[in-house]
Amino acid sequence: MSPRNKTSGINLKYNRKIRIFLIFLFLTSIIWLIVALSKSYTTTSKIKIVYINLPANKLLLKKPVSEIEGVINATGFNLIKYKIKPPKISLSLVESQKNGLKYYLLPNNQIISLTKKLESSSTLVKFLTDTIYVDLGNNITKKVPINSKLKINFKLGYNFIEDLKTIPDSISISGPKRSLDSILEITTKSLELNEVYEQVNVQLQLNAPKWKNVKMSAKTVTIKGEVDKFTEGKLIIPVTIINVPKGIKVTPFPKEIEVVYQAGLSHFNRINSSSFEVVFDYQQYENDTLVKYLSPIVEQKSDLISFLKVNPGQIEFLIQK
């Protein structure tokens, strides 16, 4: 065998021994690491906080601290996991205490129940923050009207035959009193309808209050209204004077007046002299004896009538005692 081949054989055996040694060292290190990580250690760790069980009559006005330091006893495996992803636990707001106007939590008072939320091999020893202040306010409810921002432009000769209805016409809002005191109404989103000649039935979104901690009982309302083609009618009725004292006779000039009205075509035949009441009040003269004319007063008018005008607009009168 040549010296060269002899040297190559020695190097091969040497390299094989090194590889075996390195593999043995690697496996030994792995076993040592597993054993080490299986043991329990006590150390500090960041803990994420979630707040639950808010009392029904309270409102969380401001988000409290979401992360605090805590002392945890756990296996090395769990501690590594906690470093990558901090553990998350829930603090009950029912446990809040009050000092003057401030509310606070003592997280260490909830240690026993919170430990159950961690891994089975982990124990929450204590929180390094012993007091967490929470901004709680009284949650109240009040009812406010809806202000519709629906604009309607009718086709010529058409109009509503009844008042436009908003369903619901009011909603309940809840939140802190200091926010609710400034809310007098809730408005809808704006919408404009043109050339309207048939029934209106639209749903509109409500504008949310600027206060984020105010909740509404509804987010939309429905706007409804019956539309009809309108036509004009006229009726001649006798003049009626009210509040005339005993022993006084009042003669009107003229003795009859003309009432001009507009009503929907579908209801037009239902309009008669009993659909409205127009009177003249003698008290107008008694309040000012220089008055020479009495003005008409519409005492009542059918909802079927959209417009009403009296001709003449004033009457003369003669007083006889």
Please give the single-letter amino acid code of residue 55: P
Q: Render the burial of 213-241: b for 16+ CB within 10 Å, e for the rest.
A: ebebeeeebebebbbbbbeeeeeeeebeb
Give the model's pLDDT for residue 21: 58
Give the model's pLDDT for residue 85: 81
User: Per the structure block, which two tokens stand in for 190?
Assistant: 């704006």
- 229-320 topology per CATH: RNA Polymerase Alpha Subunit; Chain A, domain 2 (2.170.120)
Domains 139-225 and 229-320 share a fold: yes
CATH number of the structural domain 139-225: 2.170.120.40
Q: Which residues of the chain have pLDDT under 50?
A: 1
What is the rounded distance in angstroms from the CA atom of residue 223 to the CA atom of residue 159? 15
Q: Where are the domains of the chain?
A: 40-130, 139-225, 229-320
Give the model's pLDDT for residue 149: 95
Compute the CA torsion angle 15, 20, 25, 26 (nearest 10 deg): 100
Query: How much is the pTM?
Result: 0.55
Contact at 8 Å (CB) between 88 and 52? no
Count CA within 13 A, CB hemisphere, residue 63: 5
Give the model's pLDDT for residue 193: 94
Give the model's pLDDT for residue 139: 84
Taking only the tens place, the pLDDT of each residue in 3-26 is 555 555 556 565 676 776 566 656
Q: What angle do CA 114, 115, 120 make, to 5 degrees?
A: 140
